[in-house]
Structure 1
Amino acid sequence: MKLNETARIGLGCMNLSHAYGTPPPEQDAVALLNRALDIGYNHFDTAALYGFGANESLIGKAVSHRRDEFFLASKCVLVPDDAGKRSLDGRPETIKKTCDAALKRLSTDYIDLYYLHRYDKNVPLEDSMGAMADLVSAGKIGAVGLSEVSAETLARAHAVHPIAAVQTEFSLWTRNADIAVIDKCRELGTTFVAFSPVARGYLCGTLTDVNSLGERDLRRTMPRFSAENYPKNLELLTPLQEVAEELNATMAQVALAWVLQRDAHIVAIPGTTRLSHLQDNFEATGVTLSDLQWQRLDKAINDQQVYGRRYNDAAQADIDTENF
């Protein structure tokens, strides 16, 4: 199975193990992954970073017996260091070591799509890409992807080995990829994978109080979710709610439909820990916005209207994507 043969809504698996406070009990996560396959999801996205390997292990335990039913994507370069802290390491030997460990955790002998989770600028890009090409030649991965890179970096990497996918945050409130990356993906025949397409829950319309977020929730570090900015951002949601009512859809479904209608080569990978949201998200492919509705949302919620940056300084330092 190739990425362009999968459903346009895939499953981002990160929050089953990482980033959004206390993850669900393992038995619930296992049930959700299997339910996703039953519904029709056939693209699962994980990474070595998520839970420092725990997310890959979860997928291996939960659905490796159904391996032929889904396209599997994972990532390297963002890895835990010897002290158990997040580190950036794009050296060829680390990439290969990370892949071998991932294969073991995932209980599989191949990963369909393997991303450089970030571009480690301390290592020549051509060296990191050479390691990825070696993994393809060894049959350990099927294709190479990049995450959070600029159009220039994409072109450089593609000159070493074809890039099957670029994964970047993209939603109504995050449009960095509109500057150049989406166009470059179209030019090169690269699939664009939108992560956080419902803006980490913001576009669902249900997160009304950021004080309810757990102490370990990643959103607490993000300026858009600050106590000062988030109430202002909530005021921007009225047009999204109105369009959802017009279409008899959820706000999340409308937000996903907006992303998918941006370009035919885009797929989205929303994450969730709830079975009801799992079903709703997958059914977003059946929601069609009129041109007027799409443009109305386009103008109502975007980088110019939103209050706050998407990342703090520390997180932004690892990002190569163009900025407004």
Structure 2
Amino acid sequence: MAKIGSFEVSAQGFGAMGLSSVYGQADDAESIRTIHRAIDLGVTFFDTATGYGAGHNEDLLGKAIAGRRDRLVIASKFTHRQGSDGRHVSAREAVEASLRRLSLDQIDLYYLHRVDADVPIEESVGQLARLEEEGKIGGIGVSEASAAQLRAAHAVAPLTALQSEYSLWTRDVEVEILPTVRELGIGFVAYSPLGRGFLAGATSSGEGDRRSIHPRFTPEAVAANAVRRRTIEDVAERLHVTPAQVSLAWALSKQVVPIPGTRHVRHLEDNWAAGAIRLDDGTIDELEAAFPRGSTVGDRYPAEQLKQVPAEPALA
């Protein structure tokens, strides 16, 4: 088990984004079976967002957890700009829509999904603080905020969690952000702990798969990054486990809560088994030597999305 603020959650959570066809076509019935199996295995922390499938993801998760709510911690996220026209919404408008879609009276953890360039983070968190006081949400989170933004937000209202990308091939947060959340007592939730599947051996499936527009999934980047992935594969072979399990075991060793996602029960079970793996210091050093910070070929997002996340600190 792990702690995120006052919430006790499973050491691994479940990231639901992929259930809304961002990595190729998804099947709702299969997705619901996977969520039910996750609950049966012991996953208690589920992560969704208003922007995943324009509300589809929250609807789907709401249906899947019906009758099982009491044991679970549910997190969702909002942005101030929503819809194809970029309509501005308040945190109140967003959370009330999320509550309806999830069929909940309270969302345990509600994040500002991205800091809006036109809305100071202090204002966004102030809106969320009022919703927390009213009991509509149980805790406040922010996603992909810089260390300075975290401090500004935390000064307005105590933050429960920060969610940012973190994996062997995305280690930017180790310089400033992880030390800041630990200083302030904020939980850290790691999304894409398998590098959007790459660290487990996956690549873009083509049409309908968002990875096809990501710089790290160009043929040239895949070829370059696959060279370093061989170290994960070598460790997996030595330990008689899978590359996904090695990658997740590394993330778990960092005292964060990773939220891998999958549409398939077999991948879910493989991911969950990583919780039983303990990597020794020498193996952790071996993996990190293969993936020094800043060495991954290709930006982690396309140019427009890259503007919405903190810049990587300069290499020392």
Q: When the two structures are superposed, what TM-score results if normalisation uses the length of structure 1?
A: 0.92
Specify which of 127, 131, 134 is matched with residue 131 of structure 1. 127
- Show the counterpart of 1:300: 290
1:118, 1:146 within 8 Å by CA — same for their partners in 2? yes
- Show the counterpart of 2:207: 215
- Show the counterpart of 1:145: 141
1:71 and 1:244 map into 2 onto residues whose CA distance is 31
Greater shift, 310-319 or 266-275, is seen at 310-319
1:188 and 1:44 map into 2 onto residues whose CA distance is 24
**SS across alignment from 1:74:** strand
**SS across alignment from 2:54:** helix
2:191 and 2:162 map into 1 onto residues whose CA distance is 10
Alpha-carbon shift at residue 323 of structure 1 (Å) = 4.0
1:45, 1:74 within 8 Å by CA — same for their partners in 2? yes
- Show the counterpart of 2:226: 234
Q: Aligned letter for 1:286?
A: A
2:246 paired with 1:250: no
**SS across alignment from 1:199:** coil
1:302 and 1:191 map into 2 onto residues whose CA distance is 24
1:57, 1:106 within 8 Å by CA — same for their partners in 2? yes
2:20 paired with 1:30: no
- Show the counterpart of 1:65: 67
2:216, 2:299 within 8 Å by CA — same for their partners in 1? yes
Q: Aligned letter for 2:127?
A: A
2:30, 2:264 within 8 Å by CA — same for their partners in 1? no
2:33 paired with 1:43: no
1:231 and 1:88 map into 2 onto residues whose CA distance is 40
2:19 paired with 1:16: yes
1:171, 1:199 within 8 Å by CA — same for their partners in 2? yes
1:310 and 1:88 map into 2 onto residues whose CA distance is 26
2:140 and 2:24 map into 1 onto residues whose CA distance is 30
Seen in structure 2, the aligned counterparts of structure 1 residues 206 and 47 have a Cα distance that, compared at 3 Å, is closer
1:134 and 1:119 map into 2 onto residues whose CA distance is 18
Alpha-carbon shift at residue 321 of structure 1 (Å) = 5.2
Specify which of 149, 161, 171 is matched with residue 175 of structure 1. 171
2:121 paired with 1:118: no
Alpha-carbon shift at residue 79 of structure 1 (Å) = 5.1
1:2 and 1:183 map into 2 onto residues whose CA distance is 17
Alpha-carbon shift at residue 214 of structure 1 (Å) = 2.5
- Show the counterpart of 1:205: 201
**SS across alignment from 1:162:** coil
Alpha-carbon shift at residue 320 of structure 1 (Å) = 3.0
Alpha-carbon RMSD = 1.7
2:108, 2:139 within 8 Å by CA — same for their partners in 1? yes
Q: Aligned letter for 2:105?
A: D
Q: Aligned letter for 1:267?
A: V
Residue-by-residue CA offset, 1:293-320 (whole Å, 9 max, x unaligned): 0000001024433211111211111113
Residue-by-residue CA offset, 1:40-88 (whole Å, 9 max, x unaligned): 100000000000000000011111221112100000116532xx35x48
1:174, 1:302 within 8 Å by CA — same for their partners in 2? no
2:34, 2:264 within 8 Å by CA — same for their partners in 1? yes
2:231, 2:290 within 8 Å by CA — same for their partners in 1? yes
Specify which of 230, 251, 272 is matched with residue 262 of structure 2. 272
**SS across alignment from 2:108:** strand
Q: Aligned letter for 1:171?
A: S
Q: When the two structures are superposed, what TM-score results if normalisation uses the length of structure 2?
A: 0.94
Alpha-carbon shift at residue 322 of structure 1 (Å) = 4.1
Residue-by-residue CA offset, 1:196-233 (whole Å, 9 max, x unaligned): 000001110244xx4xx232211111111112211111
> For structure 2, which runs of at least 5 residues remain unmatched after alignment?
none
- Show the counterpart of 1:97: 93
1:280 and 1:78 map into 2 onto residues whose CA distance is 36
Task: Count the aligned residue pairs.
Answer: 311
Identity %, equivalent residues? 41
- Show the counterpart of 1:260: 252
1:320 and 1:234 map into 2 onto residues whose CA distance is 26
- Show the counterpart of 1:194: 190
